[in-house]
Amino acid sequence: MMSDKELWSLFEKSGAIHDYLNYACTSEDSLCQEIEMEEGSVYDEPE
């Protein structure tokens, strides 16, 4: 899997919306994982 920076570089070179969406989706996934690690999963059932 390519890193965020690699995906951004690919988008800069190609200018293709598909490459931007790959970058954006990967970035968002990374951000969501960081938040879940800090706060616990947002899908956890309350006890």
Residue 15: C-alpha distances to residues 11, 25, 27 (Å): 5, 16, 17
Structure tokens belonging to residue 19 = 């490459």
Q: How far apart are CA 47 and CA 3, in angstroms?
A: 37
Q: What is the DSSP letter of 16?
A: -
Amino acid 15: pLDDT: 94
Q: Give tens-digit pLDDT for 1-47.
A: 788 889 889 999 999 998 888 888 877 666 555 545 555 555 555 55
Q: Which long-range contacts (CB under 8 A, 24 or more apart) does 30-34 make?
A: 30/4
